[in-house]
């Protein structure tokens, strides 16, 4: 993973030894040829998150780009960009203290068919700070002992949107200031294997996350907590991660089945505006 991969039309530079790569030599506002798209897909499969810099996209071009990869999954909770319901806004204003995404998670794992990927386009970013961390759930799985792998192999876990977006949190700053809405729609619960076989790469990945996993199937919340806490601490080990520093015009496109991400909240008093499009996935097994 530490060597830059050879591609014909794009340049691919790994972001860390664990995951992530910066792609150069592509203007995403232009119609992508099928051959460039194939190279991007191959980099996406290999590195799990791909980054682009200095892109200049209108909202419609962002949507067109995402639709080259698949169907867009419209988020129920995030404030959409006016006139573009397919684009969810991830915003923090100068007077706001809470950010969105400030804990390790994978988007939409509470859906029965969880999102394949998320494509975020940076419109406005702080001078310093507001970076996003990513962690490889392939590496997290592979680093477990054989005994732990064996125990997790047949376990399933429940994921839910209720505690994250439902009425229990509807008095939070996000809801009060309108960045999140529709707590009544936070009714999703989904059961997924704890170890999935990735639908593109065939590699095994750990599939629980701090944001949305609530318990193992057949176990109580209390019984599940110690093992989940261990897996959350394990999955966040620094050697599984990379960190991306945003600039206006940067794009990160990550695979939700193979990664966690964490938006750092270290830039109070500055504005950060990101446009996120989430893409539909396939059932996991």
Task: Please report how close the Cβ of residue 70 comes to ligand SIN at its closest, in angstroms.
Answer: 17
Identify each DSSP E strand in 34-188 by its residue range. Answer: 49-52, 72-73, 80-81, 84-92, 117-124, 132-136, 156-160
Mark 38-72 as b/e (b = at least 16 C-beta within 10 Å): ebbeebbbbbbbbbbeebebebeebbebbeebeeb
Q: Which of 107, 174, 240, 258 binds ligand SIN (CB under 6 A)?
A: 107
Q: Which of 194, 263, 279, 284 binds ligand SIN (CB under 6 A)?
A: 263
CB 134 within 8 A of CB 59: no
What is the rounded distance in angstroms from the CA atom of residue 105 to the CA atom of residue 101? 8
Q: How far is the CB of 2 from ligand SIN (least distance, A)?
A: 25
| Residue positions counted in the chain | 285
Chain CA centroid to CA 168, Å: 23
Indicate the residue among 142 and 177 with the shorter CB distance to ligand SIN.
177
- The correct pick among 101, 117, 193, 281 for binding ligand SIN (CB under 6 A) is 101
Residue (47 or 253) nearer to ligand SIN, CB: 253
Q: How far is the CB of 114 from ligand SIN (least distance, A)?
A: 13
d(CA 159, CA 82): 30
The alpha carbon of residue 102 and the mean position of all alpha carbons in its chain are separated, in whole angstroms, by 12
Interacting positions 58-87 with ligand SIN (CB under 6 A): none
Cβ 260 to ligand SIN, closest distance in Å?
Answer: 10
Cα distance between residue 213 and residue 194, in whole Å: 10
Answer for which of 81, 87, 90, 284 binds ligand SIN (CB under 6 A) is 90
Give catalytic residues, as residue numbers: 105, 107, 261, 276
Tokens of 110: 């509470």
Shortest separation between residue 101's beta carbon and ligand SIN, angstroms: 2
Nearest-angstrom CA–CA distance, 25 and 141? 33
Toward ligand SIN, which CB reaches closer, 36 or 90?
Answer: 90
Q: How far apart are CA 203 and CA 258, in angstroms?
A: 9
Region binding ligand SIN by CB under 6 A among candidate stretches 28-36, 100-108, 174-182, 234-242:
100-108
Q: With contacts defined by CB under 6 A, how many residues of the chain interact with ligand SIN? A: 11
Q: Which residues bind ligand SIN (CB under 6 A)?
A: 90, 100-101, 107, 118, 120, 132, 261, 263, 274, 276
């Amino acid at each position: 993973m530490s060597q830059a991969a050879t591609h014909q039309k794009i340049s691919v530079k790994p972001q860390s030894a664990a995951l992530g790569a910066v792609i150069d030599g592509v203007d995403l506002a232009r119609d992508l040829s099928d051959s460039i798209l194939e190279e991007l897909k191959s980099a996406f499969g290999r590195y799990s998150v791909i980054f682009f810099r200095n892109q200049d996209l209108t909202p419609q071009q962002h949507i067109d780009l995402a639709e080259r990869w698949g169907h867009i999954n419209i988020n129920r909770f995030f404030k959409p960009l006016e006139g573009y319901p397919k684009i969810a806004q991830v915003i923090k204003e100068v007077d706001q203290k809470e950010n969105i995404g400030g804990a390790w998670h994978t988007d939409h794992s509470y859906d029965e068919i969880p999102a394949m990927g998320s494509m975020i386009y940076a419109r406005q970013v702080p001078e310093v700070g507001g970076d996003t961390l990513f962690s490889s759930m392939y590496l997290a799985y592979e680093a477990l002992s054989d005994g732990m792998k064996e125990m997790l192999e047949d376990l399933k876990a429940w994921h839910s949107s209720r505690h994250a977006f439902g009425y229990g949190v509807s008095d939070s700053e996000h809801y009060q200031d309108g960045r999140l809405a529709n707590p009544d729609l936070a009714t999703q619960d989904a059961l997924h294997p704890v170890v999935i076989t990735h639908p593109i790469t065939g590699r095994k990945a750990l599939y629980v996350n701090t944001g949305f996993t609530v318990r193992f199937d057949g176990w109580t919340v209390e019984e599940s907590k110690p093992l989940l806490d261990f897996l959350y601490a394990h999955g966040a080990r620094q050697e599984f991660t990379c960190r991306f520093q945003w600039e206006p015009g940067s794009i990160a496109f990550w695979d939700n089945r193979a990664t966690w991400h964490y938006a750092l909240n270290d830039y109070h008093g500055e504005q950060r505006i990101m446009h996120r499009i989430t893409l539909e996935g396939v059932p996991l097994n």
